[in-house]
Amino acid sequence: MTHPPLALDRDGVCDYLAEVWPEAAGSFADGLVELEPGFARFVRRTGPADVRPGGTVSGPTLMHAVDEGGYALVLGHLGPAALAVTSHLSMDFLRRPTTGDLVVDVELLKLGRTQVPMAARVFVDDPGTPPVAVATIVYSRALVAGEG
């Protein structure tokens, strides 16, 4: 499957975020380890605040990481489009994640005119291991603020 070219490369995405969303820019500068047409890999370090009873990384932490990875891929393809928002996320948690860093691989499914659906898989530390979660995430391009 051929993918459309990127509008912004990895550094372009990080520079853009430093400008429009400085609070979040650090986690992208740190975690966006790969960005190419149709694909992004985002690493999210986890700490004690992300852990639930039983020593498992919490579900919301995984969802947050998937949302960040998807946002990076959307910005890469749409260029300066900070107003794109998540319109759908569906996630299946397959295995209790042991504590470790989350590796999120995101694949572009379609660069639609209004909707950008993506598929994501989440691994702990090593993307060669079975995924701990899979997700579908859809970003919605802002045509007119408040509409859609």
| 113 and 97 Cβ atoms separated by less than 8 Å | no
Pick the stretch among 4-12, 27-35, 46-54 that binds its own copies (CB under 8 A). Answer: 46-54
Figure out which of the listed residues 7, 56, 100, 125 binds its own copies, where binding follows CB under 8 A.
56
Q: Which residues pair with 42 in a beta bridge?
A: 32, 104
Question: Considering the rule CB under 8 A, would residue 45 count as an interface residue with its own copies?
Answer: no
14 touches 76 (CB < 8 A): no
Q: Is 79 in the site for its own copies (CB under 8 A)?
A: no
Grouping H, G, I as helix, E, B as strand and the rest as coil, residue 39 is strand
Q: What is the three-state SS of 87-101?
A: EEEEEEECCCCCCCC
Please tell me whether residue 105 adopts helix, strand or coil conformation: strand
Q: How many residues contact its own copies, by CB under 8 A?
A: 51
Q: Which stretch binds its own copies (CB under 8 A): 6-14, 27-35, 39-47, 56-64?
A: 56-64
Q: Torsions phi, psi of 116, nearest 5? A: -125, 90
For its own copies, which stretch binds (CB under 8 A), given 4-12, 28-36, 39-47, 77-85?
Answer: 77-85
Asked whether position 100 contacts its own copies by CB under 8 A, the answer is no
Contact 68, 31 (CB under 8 A): yes
- Specify the residue, 45 or 52, whose C-beta has the smaller distance to its own copies: 52
SS3 29: helix
Residues of this chain that bind its own copies (CB under 8 A): 1, 20-21, 23, 48-49, 52-54, 56, 58-60, 63-64, 67, 82-83, 85-96, 109-110, 112-115, 117, 119, 129-131, 134, 136, 138, 140, 142-143, 145-148
